[in-house]
Structure 1
């Protein structure tokens, strides 16, 4: 069911994000000594909080509902949300996204706001498109619009396409057909993405050989952790998904143990696997352990259910009985967001100072 996939994707992204957040920037050798295994929340008194990965995914979902199938309107609505999101002082925002947000405030249009960067920002919010949109070419239009709003390097777009197609494949196929998924990626990204396709093939071959995701990451030279470069992030995330396509717990913990940009990598894997297993396939204690407001777990669940009833079809004549007026868009209180972000920043600073102390 579409509802199951969308809610599972949103909550899977949030859980992966919240579990990986304390491990962000920590090497895979130091993380177990400093924090312990990623089997529970270690951010704030055994509770988890989300970061930009989940927030962008939610903003994309909200914009999809408002656009009601119009890609241009989606880009405008997402750009508007991004402008206000930047103004609320989010901690840890990527450089390319920050620069794009500033350009939007200076009057840039969505089509010209992006900066040349191959960061993993577009990939971190891409799974929701695969979870929500059936028509493949149409889905790719939304992924490209989302990517180019902040990142104009084609590499960032290729990574986002691979993630969206993985989420779509995850929800549509009880048994993963690796060759079918890869064929769709190759067709979508084109011949100019030969380096990226080569990395995805390496990931598939590594899974076939029985290598762990950490071993695969190390084979790419990521001994100190997975970086925010999309050609590092996405192949390792795909490896974790293909290694544990229906085991949410193992897929997410496996990639967090690789270190580096752990909140984003775990959010991507959580969104892909969550689209396939739904909320029921995510450990309930992990869902219940997220302490968030105003983007709470019930809020995200309602957002997913609202998106599930919107007819995301390219031809308006093919839409069903759901109209713009009946699609309820979950909103957030901007004052609550600002206060929440100040608390979040305080906790992030605490973790930063904690890392200055042993064990190393």
Structure 2
């Protein structure tokens, strides 16, 4: 381990581990829901999940690499992170990596510097949602630092594979949202906490389609505490019960089906902000939207876990998730 770790490194790693738990459980459960019978069962009753173990995907594999680098360095070391990504990929290339990620991580593993590899594989940079799907441990680790620090570390983590401004913006927005969730963990059910998540993410996310999507998300608020209603600010009211389609929200924000940050992060922040008090409901609502289910659930799970704590993650879900090896 580095000899320049922060004095509160152990506490930081506990927060990073909490986010990793929420991320990985969401990822693994979400992956099972690409099978139609599992998807329908979870929507009917979130406790009626597929029998474990639920294998995790590349979302968790890459988050584990980030977790390890933070534990070793207390910050994002881009070269070390690239090597961790490549090593985990080489050991388990079947985790669900996309085609571009296969090529990128193979080239890094073969010795090509990460920046050169990223530019070759993704001319102009990748804006895929992979930069945001793995960010949970970073959000936890830096949750009590200034938001500028969080944004800078998120940028560094994203650039290793996602040099496009949208890829960077997605990582920053998700990391800041996770930190806000942690800071509001004692009042996560307050409407003010939900607005703070959006406002803080907007304040630190650079101009981008991701940021524009978060602005739209902020103007869509859900309240399922009593009468389930979607309130479109300045546009009246539209009733959308929890157990029916979230199609209006998907139309407004996306659902990750394009595998891009701009099509994924605004929706995930909307779900997380709407269900900061309830991990189970947040993940079930995320599954309901279909799209890139495992990645959406990883992002949402990592954020909401920081608000509810490990006790807020269903114990049977955690037991059914494949064991993590760090």
Unaligned runs of 5+ in 1: 297-329, 331-360
Counterpart position of 1:51 = 57
| 1:103-161 Cα distance to aligned partner (Å, 9 max, x none) | 31343323333232211000001122111112322222221121111111111111111
Matched, 1:288 2:319: yes
User: 133-142 or 206-215: which moved more?
Assistant: 206-215
Matched, 1:63 2:69: yes
- Secondary structure of 1:177's partner? helix
Counterpart position of 2:128 = 119
232 and 216 in structure 1: CA distance in 2 versus 1, 3 angstrom threshold = farther
- Secondary structure of 1:129's partner? helix
Matched, 1:182 2:198: yes
Counterpart position of 1:32 = 40
Query: C-alpha separation between the residues in 2 aligned to 1:156 and 1:200?
Result: 14
Query: Cα distance, 1:179 vs. partner?
Result: 4.3
Matched, 1:169 2:175: no
Query: C-alpha separation between the residues in 1 aligned to 2:147 and 2:41?
Result: 44
Matched, 1:263 2:266: no
User: Displaced runs of 4+ in structure 1, greater than 4 A?
Assistant: 1-4, 33-38, 210-213
Counterpart position of 1:197 = 211
Number of positions where the alignment pairs a residue of Structure 1 with one of Structure 2: 285
Q: Could you say which structure has the greater relative contact order, defined with CA pairs below 8 angstroms and 6 or more residues apart?
A: 1
Counterpart position of 1:95 = 99
Counterpart position of 2:6 = none
The structure whose residues are more often helix, as a share, is: 1
TM-score, structure 2 normalization: 0.78
Query: C-alpha separation between the residues in 1 aligned to 2:73 and 2:14?
Result: 21
Query: Cα distance, 1:31 vs. partner?
Result: 4.1
Counterpart position of 2:260 = 229
TM-score, structure 1 normalization: 0.71
Query: C-alpha separation between the residues in 2 aligned to 1:243 and 1:250?
Result: 10
**Contact 1:123-1:230 within 8 A present in 2 as well:** yes
- RMSD of equivalent CA atoms: 2.8
Counterpart position of 1:302 = none
Query: Cα distance, 1:290 vs. partner?
Result: 1.9
